[in-house]
Structure 1
Amino acid sequence: MRKTHLLILFTLFNLLTISATTWAQEVPTPELFLTPIFQVNYGDATADKPQSKSWTINQEQWLIVADEDGPKLWKKEGQRWTSQREVNRAWENLPSKADVLNKGDEVHVVLVEACDLNVVKMVYSPGTKQYKHQWNAILPVPAECHSIETATLTQDSNNSYWVAADMNEKIMVWYSADGEDWSEPFPLADDINPDDISLIVSLEDQISVIWSNQDTQSINERIHYDEDAPQVWSELRVVQQGDSNADDHLNATVFENGEMVLVTKNSVDQIGSPQFVLRIRDRLGEWTNIPFENLTAEHSPSRPIINHVESGQIFEIHAVKNRVTNRYHISVNEVKKKNGGWEFKELVQLKTEINGKNGDATSSKASFKPEEAKLIFFSDELGNVYSFDIDHIIKK
């Protein structure tokens, strides 16, 4: 009799354990429906890859988005976002797509559209808690230019400024000692696909330019050491080549120890195969490539970005199209090193009420500070702009 009771108890325990495990595996990712923080007259206002459009100063959050008559600066004041009219008047009719570099009280922004490249400078006043527009510099663009999709900006350890952009199936860089007077562009690559783009990143005593080349199925890099003349760059370094691993989706974050994490999309586009690659560059310039995020019959992931908290937490964010309903959401994921590999855990799905596209996630070029808001942004094709603070999830 006792053995029978023990057998029953053991069976019940196993059933409960199996049920609990099954339940834990089937718990869906939390969903959150967002309302716009504001609207502009420009669809997909947070585009374009791989630009960073937000920053924090003195616990204040700032954002630049595109609009029909030029870029617009916005500030979060309490629970509202307010358009900064004085700066925005100074930016009327400038190129709309912005990449932001903030350092102390100064902000430099590269603005791009068609074959037009500008860099503007703003200075923050702690007294008024406002930015004041200082100047606008026009970068020299050759007359034969027929297309520039996007551009990014950085600063090296000598406080010199650099812009990288795709132009006419080439990867071009511009240089400035002060951010206002710019060199003629010079090419780092002249064989890219018309759909390819680049990203420029500041590392320890060097500048890295990374780009996709879908014709050669490769992700590539060239390095400029800060001690060298501006036109002196390393030979081509191939991060990875073959297996359709290149597409025009690039975004990076640099750790405090000098390592860089790059997230890219590939062109595999096969059900059950990873669409993204996490690429880790150590301080010696060696790369490790980790594929992740499968394409499924229902979900198509795209346009990944990545950022981290100075304490070490890594977050990857991307858009997802439901291939059945044609609805979109933004997937927020935590990336952890675990058991010698990498774990990608979806924390929340951000949704909106519109039926059209939601995407073009963006964040800050700088890492998140533990004590500050960790804002990400995205937009829809109707000009609505949305915001989410990752702290709402990680501090629960």
Structure 2
Amino acid sequence: MKKITLLLLFLTLLVNTGRLYAQINNSEPVAPSTKPVLKVDVPNPTADKPQSKLWYADKSWWALLPTSSGPSLWQRTAGGWTEHAQVRALLQGIPGRADVWADQNEIMAVGVDKHVLTVFAIRKVEKASKITWMAEVRGSLSPSVSTDEMETATIAKDKTGCWWVAADAGEKVCVWSSSSKNWTWTPPYVLAKGLNADDICTVAELPGQTAIIWSDQNRDAVSMRTHRNGQPADRWEDTVVIEQGNKTADDHLHASLATDGTLWLATKNSVDQLGSPQQVLRVRHANGQWRNYAYADLDVVKAPSRPVVIATQNPALVLAGHTIYNHKNANLGEIVFGRVDTSSAGLLRDVRTVIAPDATGWTKRNKINDITVPKKPFPDNAPWIILASDEEGNVFEADLKPLFFKP
């Protein structure tokens, strides 16, 4: 009898453990998002590489998206995404395609026009239970050669309170800086020259440093220079070549700093061969050493592109996503995400389609693209929201938390 009782207890424990394991590992399927959550009047509003337009503050997700008149501010509420129309009026005429750095009480952004960058701030003011918004332009930045064109720009603040803006300008990588005390911006400091007109750069936070990383298709390299906090604005460390050769460079960059000081950099290469990886995840460990991991093979129908990476509060859990273009039918493109495992041959585990637009009724070619994620790691106490958009101005969202979070 004792043997039977023990056997029953063992079987019960085994079944319950299996149920618990299934719950922890999110075995229940989560359907991809198929319908837009908002729409603006410009195409591809979540573009462009490597900008972030999304952040979490005051128990809400927020997004700064372009419109035909300038930037617009959106808040994710229980009733859906809602625009704060006052902000659009305040920012009318400012370039709408912007990269955002969010602090608790204020956001700073850099809007991109091909010949000038506009740095501006948005701040919420609460008085007598009434919320109003204030906006202020804090800088107008031009390249060293006025005819040089800028494709994109990013912004960051270091731990000393110094602000940094990085942009590609013609065949150069330029950086500007300012203290928040007087908003007097330095002239553009050129970090690199001789780039391809298609190349881009991004600014990334590092422990005690600020990094500018760029693609260099002419030299077939991905490179970086760093600035130590507190040093003069024009004192930058020598160039570090992260990887060079074998068509490793393309104009796709996106960085995320984990809570343990590891910098994750998602990039695309220029291999463009069937059966070969199209993307490279580059990992800078806290000791300054880089490792490069190729992933995401190209096949006859599906082409991975525009990769992003996002850390979480758990430094062991990092998520990477990208667009998959469909070569047979552009309308059938999708957004996928997976969990990074650098010991895995394919690098990404548990890959899921998180956005797959319902193309019913689409009368012309369209496609989903341009994932945007927050600069800071996903919070533990909120949904893990990402956005992407299409050529009609539709914006789609996905919550990654039910797929990947394990309490």
Q: Same fold (TM over 0.5)?
A: yes
1:217-241 CA deviation, whole Å, 9 max, x = no partner? 1000011111321101111110000
On the 8 A contact 1:95/1:112 being kept in 2, the answer is: yes
On the 8 A contact 1:263/1:277 being kept in 2, the answer is: yes
Determine whether 1:272 maps to 2:275.
yes
Determine whether 1:344 maps to 2:358.
no
Structure 2 counterparts to residues 173-184 of structure 1, below 5 A: 173-178=175-180, 180-184=183-187
State the distance in 1 between where 2:145 and 2:169 align.
Answer: 11
State the distance in 2 between where 1:302 and 1:158 align.
Answer: 36
State the distance in 1 between where 2:354 and 2:75 align.
Answer: 25
State the distance in 1 between where 2:354 and 2:385 align.
Answer: 15
Task: Please give the secondary structure, in 2, of the residue aligned with 1:66.
Answer: strand
Alignment match, 2:313: 310
Alignment match, 2:173: 171
- The aligned amino acid for 2:252 is H
Alignment match, 2:395: 385
- The aligned amino acid for 2:66 is A
Structure 2 counterparts to residues 52-63 of structure 1, below 5 A: 52-63=52-63
Determine whether 1:359 maps to 2:364.
no
State the distance in 1 between where 2:405 and 2:110 align.
Answer: 34
Alignment match, 2:334: 329
Structure 2 counterparts to residues 64-103 of structure 1, below 5 A: 64-103=64-103
Gaps of 5+ in 1: 1-26
Most deviating of 330-339 and 351-360: 330-339
State the distance in 2 between where 1:145 and 1:263 align.
Answer: 30
Structure 2 counterparts to residues 133-282 of structure 1, below 5 A: 133-142=135-144, 144-178=146-180, 180-282=183-285
State the distance in 2 between where 1:344 and 1:308 align.
Answer: 15
On the 8 A contact 1:249/1:303 being kept in 2, the answer is: yes
- The aligned amino acid for 2:319 is F
Change (3 A) 1:247 1:128: farther
- The aligned amino acid for 2:135 is H
1:387 Cα deviation from its structure 2 partner? 1.0
State the distance in 2 between where 1:51 and 1:339 align.
Answer: 28
Alignment match, 1:117: 117
Most deviating of 81-90 and 136-145: 136-145
1:342 Cα deviation from its structure 2 partner? 4.2
1:318 Cα deviation from its structure 2 partner? 0.7
State the distance in 1 between where 2:346 and 2:306 align.
Answer: 23
1:76 Cα deviation from its structure 2 partner? 1.5
Residues matched between the structures, number: 369
Give the fraction of aligned pairs with identical amino acids, expressed as a percent.
31
On the 8 A contact 1:252/1:260 being kept in 2, the answer is: yes
1:338 Cα deviation from its structure 2 partner? 4.2
Task: Please give the secondary structure, in 2, of the residue aligned with 1:193.
Answer: coil
Gaps of 5+ in 2: 1-26, 360-364
- The aligned amino acid for 1:95 is P
1:306-330 CA deviation, whole Å, 9 max, x = no partner? 1021023211111101112232111
Change (3 A) 1:184 1:242: same
- The aligned amino acid for 1:32 is P
State the distance in 2 between where 1:51 and 1:175 align.
Answer: 18
Change (3 A) 1:302 1:274: same
Determine whether 1:394 maps to 2:399.
no
1:278 Cα deviation from its structure 2 partner? 0.8
State the distance in 1 between where 2:173 and 2:342 align.
Answer: 33
Change (3 A) 1:249 1:191: same
On the 8 A contact 1:145/1:167 being kept in 2, the answer is: no
- The aligned amino acid for 1:383 is G
State the TM-score, normalized to the length of structure 2. 0.86
- The aligned amino acid for 1:315 is L
Change (3 A) 1:188 1:132: same
On the 8 A contact 2:51/2:154 being kept in 1, the answer is: yes
On the 8 A contact 2:32/2:398 being kept in 1, the answer is: no
1:129 Cα deviation from its structure 2 partner? 5.7
1:103 Cα deviation from its structure 2 partner? 1.5
1:14-35 CA deviation, whole Å, 9 max, x = no partner? xxxxxxxxxxxxx9x9752421
Most deviating of 146-155 and 116-125: 116-125
On the 8 A contact 1:304/1:318 being kept in 2, the answer is: yes
On the 8 A contact 1:122/1:135 being kept in 2, the answer is: no
- The aligned amino acid for 1:116 is V
